[in-house]
Amino acid sequence: MLEIDALAALRDTLPLVVSLAALSVLAVMVWQTQSRSKTLRREVDAKRFLVGVEHSKQTNTYMDPSRTKIKVAAWARQWLDAQTHLKPSTRARYSNIVTKHVDDVWGSTPLHAVSHAYVQKWISSLVLAPATVRYIHRVFSLIMELAVRDKRIPSNPATGVRLPRAAKPEKRFLSVDELHRLADAASQYPIPEVGEQYRAMVLVLGFCGLRWGEVAALRVKRVDLLRRRLTVAESVTEVSGRLTWGTPKSHQARQVPIPRSLVTLLAEVIAVKSPDDLIFTTWRAKPLRNLNFRRDVFDPAARDAGLEGLTPHELRHTAASLAVSAGANVKAVQHMLGHASAAMTLDVYSGLFGDDLDGVAERIDSLPGVSNLRHDATVTELSRVVK
3-state secondary structure 259-293: CHHHHHHHHHHHCCCCCCCECCECCCCCECCHHHH
Residue 375: is its pLDDT beyond 90?
no
* 3-class secondary structure, 15: coil
Identify the residue with better confidence: 71 or 382.
71
Residue 71: is its pLDDT beyond 90?
yes
Q: Rounded to whole angstroms, how far apart are CA atoms 151 and 75? A: 13
pLDDT attached to residue 2: 41
Average predicted confidence (pLDDT) for the chain: 83
Give the mean model confidence (pLDDT) for residues 46-55: 67
Amino acid letter, residue 93: R
Which part of the chain is CATH 1.10.443.10? 176-345
**Neighbour-count burial of 308, counting CB atoms closer than 10 A to its CB (0-12 exposed, 13-18 middle, 19+ buried):** exposed
* 3-class secondary structure, 352: helix
Which part of the chain is CATH 1.10.150.130? 68-149
- Binned at pLDDT 50, 70 and 90, residue 360 comes out as low
Output the pTM of the full model: 0.71
Residue 20: is its pLDDT beyond 60?
no
Phi, psi of 256 (to 5 degrees): -125, 135
Asked if 94 and 80 count as a contact pair (C-beta separation under 8 A), the reply is: yes
Among the residue ranges 21-30, 109-118, 285-294, the one predicted with the least confidence is 21-30
What CA dihedral angle connects 5, 6, 7 and 12, to 10 degrees? -120
Residue 82: how many other CB atoms lie within 10 Å: 10
Contacts of the segment 88-94: beta carbons below 8 A, 24+ positions apart:
88/237, 88/239, 88/244, 88/246, 89/237, 89/239, 89/244, 92/239, 92/240, 93/135, 94/139
Domain 68-149 has CATH 1.10.3720.10: no
Q: Rounded to whole angstroms, how far apart are CA atoms 15 and 47? A: 13
- Binned at pLDDT 50, 70 and 90, residue 349 comes out as confident
Q: What percentage of the chain reaches a pLDDT higher than 90? A: 60
Report the number of secondary-structure helices (H) and strands (E) in the chain. 19, 7
- Binned at pLDDT 50, 70 and 90, residue 354 comes out as low
Q: Rounded to whole angstroms, how far apart are CA atoms 161 and 386? A: 48
E strands along the chain, which residues? 2-3, 39-40, 223-224, 229-232, 235-239, 242-246, 254-257
Among the residue ranges 83-87, 218-222, 361-365, the one predicted with the least confidence is 361-365
Q: Rounded to whole angstroms, how far apart are CA atoms 93 and 135? A: 10
Q: Rounded to whole angstroms, how far apart are CA atoms 300 and 263? A: 26
Angle at 143 between CA 345 and CA 134, to 5 degrees: 45
CATH number for the domain whose boundaries are 176-345: 1.10.443.10
- Of 86-90, 107-111, 281-285, highest mean pLDDT: 107-111
Nearest to 53 by CA among 13, 19, 26: 26
Q: Rounded to whole angstroms, how far apart are CA atoms 303 and 300? A: 5
* 3-class secondary structure, 307: coil
